[in-house]
Structure formats: C-alpha cells, structure tokens
Chains A and B, each alone.
Chain A
Amino acid sequence: MAIKVQIPTPMREQTGGKAEVEVAGGTVKAALDDLLRQFPGVGPKLFDNGKLRPYVNVFVNDEDIRYLDEMDTKLTDGQTVALIPAVAGG
C-alpha cells in the first residue's frame, strides 16, 4: 500500500533531499515507522523518547490527527500524510 509522506524542509537532509516519501502502513503509526525504517535520521527530529514532538503536527489529507484517532488513525492507499511545524499564527 502506498502512502505519501510530505517532509518539511529541515527534515529533508535526513531524507536525501526528498520532499515526499512513499511508505507503507495501515495507520499513521505504521506509516511513520516505515518512514523511520527507510530514513533513520528522521527519528530524533520527529520523536522524543518515542513520543511525537509537540511542535510537529501530523495531517492526513489535510485533517489534524488529533481530531481523528491520533497515531492510530487509519490510512488507505493514496492518502497523504503531511508533517508540518506547529509554531505559526496568532
């Protein structure tokens, strides 16, 4: 199953410059596990002690996963997961 993960600029050093990475997984957690398997350098930028860092928001097809099932949010083929810094606005 192909899921696209959009990578924010400062993480692209860890993805070989790629702005979008194809991963497999039936949930957000599985998809991000696969991202880390392919590009281990992303790990410390995205997670702290196994928990998603508080200043990164994760969106599935433009919906914040905190309003879905968080890391257990189900994914289907062709969906896009976007990792977006959360420090804008106001």
Chain B
Amino acid sequence: MPSNDFVLGLKCRVCGKLYPKAANFYCPDDHAPLEVAYDYEKVKPHVSRAKFASRPRNMWRYRELLPLDGEPTVGPQVGGTPLVRADRLADALGVERLWIKNDAVNFPTLSFKDRVVSVALSKAREFGMRMVGCASTGNLANSVAALGASAGLETVILVPADLEKTKIYGTAIYGAKVVKVSGTYDQVNRLCTQIVMEYGWGFVNVNLRPFYAEGSKTVGFEIAEDLGWRFPQHVVCPMAGGALIGKIYKAFNELHATGIVDQPVTTKMYGAQASGCNPISDCVKSNRERHKPVKTPNTICKSLAIGDPADGYFAANLIRSTGGWAEDVSDPEIVDAMQLLAKTEGIFAETAGGTTLAVARKLIESGRIPRDEEIVICVTGNGLKTQDAVFEALEEPATIKPSLAEFKALAGLSQPAAEPVLA
C-alpha cells in the first residue's frame, strides 16, 4: 500500500470546511489557511513505537503522519537530529533538566527548513510540478535550492536584498535562480503570492504551504521519541511565521491520538522573537487578539524577521491556551546567548538560536518557566550562516612569531607543568 492514504484532505483552520488534497493554501470562502487533516483512527493500527524505531533514523520514520501519497522522493535522509542533554548550559541557567533539539546540524543545509522542504518538494513532484520556489529569509532559500537541485527541479528564490551574503551565495551555489527584492520579507512574500496566482508554480511556503508546514511536526516526533516516548513540560521555540511552534504541538497531540504516547499533552509552549521584530510576542504580552504587523523589522536576527506572520494568530492562541508565554530580546542579548550556547555546549547556533536561548533565559529568570522542570529549547539553524553577527563580540586572536618565548609571553594561558612534558 502507498505509504499514506490517511489524509482526509485540507481543512480550513477557521470554518472547518474540508477540501481535497491539491496545491491550495487558503479557503475560498474566508481566505483562512488550510491544514492537512488525517484520520487518526485509521492511522492507529499502522503505527507503533517498534515500527518507527525499526526504520532509519530520519524524519520519514513517521511517514504515516506526513502527507505524501507515495515514498518521499526529495530529501530521503533529512531529520534525525540530536536531542542534546545540556547539563553545562543547565548549570549556567540555574535549571535542573534541559535539552537542546539541535537542527543546526540538519541535513543537507543545516536548518530545520530541510524538513519542510523535503515534504513540499516531494509533494510538488506528486503534483507533477517542475518549477518550484519560495520567499525566504535565508534558511529556506538554501534548502529549496539544495533539495530542488538534488531532485532536478528548477528553482526560483526571492529574498530581501539586505540578506546576509552567506545565505545568498549559499543559495546560488546550487544553481537556483535567485532574485533579490529591495523590500522587506513581507513584501517579498506578497510578491510571491502574486507570482503563484499568475504562474501556478509550486512555491513551498505559498501554495504548497499546508503540506510544507507538516514537515515541522517531525521536530516534535523526534523530541518525544528521544525523551523515551513522552512529552517535555516546557518547549521554547523560535517564531518567524509562527508555524513551527504549532506543528510541534500538533505532533505531540498526534502521538497521543494514535496511541503512541498514552500521556495527554500538557506541554507549555513558549515563543521567542527578536525585539526588533516581535509581532507575535507583543500580541501575547499585550493580550491583543491579533498581532499588529511590524512594517520595518530591525534586528540582526534576519531569519525571524517576518513582520506580518501568517500563523501569528494561531501561535499566540496556542501559547495562551497551553499556559506558556512569549518574549522578545535585544540584539546584544541574542549575541550573548549565541556565545553562551557555544561555550557551554559546543553548539554554534544562528541568531535565531541565540534568540530562543535568550528568551528561555529571560522566562526562567522571570519565573515563567520553573527551574525544576523539563525544558527543551529548539535550535533551528546553524551559526556558520550568520557569522557576521558575532564578529564584533569576539576577541581578535593574538598573532605571534613561531617562538616559544613569544608564546610564553601571552597572557591568559595556563602555566606549563612543573616538569617539562617531553623531558
């Protein structure tokens, strides 16, 4: 049987109307977003902990809960990233039990976006599409370009013109057609929606978005499996468009609905943003029903710089309903947290990871997250892509002649042993 015939269709997240599986992303009645709906009773007899564990350690071991009709044809090795028990960081933050879900080492382009893109592009091929693309703040651009190239698809990628160079070249290298748009991400996004309506191409975060977003659930499945099939008490997650946080929670609920985990989901979800672009955290903190869009984001954390997040309303609601909270942090706090994570755990996260850790620290210090409960912090991208952000914070290395005397004269290094080591 095909890997999946459990999908009921695409369901409107506002009016609940069900539509057939197609490259549609909004409800024709009220324009609200569509989401993939599954028949969990039908899934139940086909899944078990043992079955998942018998498969290779990647995101496709949970394929019954992903929306493909057949086998994945793009990104068959994506996912399966480590859940790192972070004791040294826990000590630094003054908490007891802490983990980092480390998607900075996701394959192939070092961010969680490889998960969503492999679902979207596998789906694009099922729909018979040849031309694919996206609007991106960088990580998605890298991923669509790389995975698109690996599948022989043509790719067109639109990015804000002020994006980090590393992310632009890290996209062009794969042969993608990159278009720099002089404007904010939201303007790029609006243009992409118009392109999709005009050309009908498969844009992963526009008309393929319902399928694309499902890939994020695998972060949640992996967290639960690596904790020994249970849910953590607190998850701190970065928010750009606001979809990831909801999909991690959806994953936990699906594991419960399909009988994989008996424990009901009581996890509190926390969202992290940069203060220079904080529509969702502002919405939560000021108890607004809907977010106020940020016209001109201003932060070093470009990967989270979406001023008008599509899932803003849903993310804010989820945070409130689970008893979590949202916070935002300044650029210096972001850089400081990037250094803290690197120095305590040996993990170099991108600015979004710094944002998430800095927010976690703020929530712990303010008492929102209790110090004696289990916390998972989601790191979604790699620091090698945003090195510009930390250069100024790091000390320039000393330069010496190749002389032992000069080396000895350096301050701040340990004294040699009393007896010469090689004597």
Contacts and interface: CB of A to CB of B under 8 A. Distances in A.
Does A pair with B? Answer: yes
B25 interface: yes
A10 interface: yes
Nearest to A8: B197
Nearest to B30: A53
B31 interface: yes
A42 B240 CA distance: 32
A53 B31 CA distance: 8
A87 B25 CA distance: 7
Interface in A11-55: 44-45, 48, 53-55
B interface, size bucket: 35 or more
Contacts of A57: 190, 308
A8 B14 CA distance: 19
A90 B32 CA distance: 16
A89 B197 contact: no
B242 interface: yes
B206 A88 contact: yes
B163 to A, nearest CB: 15
Contacts of B28: 10, 45
A55 B186 CA distance: 14
A87 B240 contact: no
Contacts of A10: 26, 28, 31
Interface string A46-90: 001000011111010010101100000000000000101111111
Interface stretch (B53-61, B309-317, B356-364, B366-374): B309-317
Contact of B30 (A9, A48, A59, A62): A48
B192 interface: yes
B31 A86 contact: yes
Contact of B241 (A64, A82, A89): A89
B31 A55 contact: yes
B30 A45 contact: yes
A88 B31 contact: no
B32 A87 contact: yes
A86 B308 contact: yes
Contacts of A67: 293, 295
A87 B30 contact: no
Nearest to B311: A90
A89 B293 contact: no
Interface in B273-327: 290, 293, 295, 306, 308-311, 313
A53 B189 CA distance: 19
A62 to B, nearest CB: 7
A59 B190 CA distance: 10
Interface string B26-60: 10111111000000000000000000000000000
Given A54-B290, A82-B194, A85-B25, A90 B31 contact: no
User: Most chain-B CB neighbours within 10 Å: which of A44, A59, A64, A89?
Assistant: A89
A45 B25 contact: no
Contact of B293 (A8, A55, A56, A66): A66
Interface in B162-181: none
A10 B193 CA distance: 14
Nearest to B213: A90
B311 to A, nearest CB: 6
A67 B311 CA distance: 20
A59 B29 CA distance: 20
Contacts of B290: 54
A88 B194 contact: no
A47 B203 CA distance: 27
Given A62-B187, A89-B205, A89-B309, A84 B193 contact: yes
16 contacts: A45-B31, A48-B30, A53-B30, A54-B290, A54-B313, A55-B33, A62-B187, A84-B190, A85-B31, A87-B25, A87-B31, A88-B203, A89-B189, A89-B241, A90-B240, A90-B242
Given A45-B30, A88-B193, A89-B205, 16 more contacts: A8-B31, A45-B28, A53-B30, A54-B290, A59-B190, A62-B187, A62-B190, A84-B190, A84-B194, A88-B189, A88-B196, A88-B310, A89-B185, A89-B189, A89-B306, A90-B309
Interface of B: 14, 25-26, 28-33, 135, 185-187, 189-190, 192-194, 196-197, 203, 205-206, 209, 240-243, 290, 293, 295, 306, 308-311, 313
Chain A to chain B: the 10 pairs with minimum beta-carbon distance, closest first: A90-B241, A10-B28, A55-B31, A87-B33, A89-B189, A88-B206, A85-B26, A55-B32, A85-B31, A88-B193
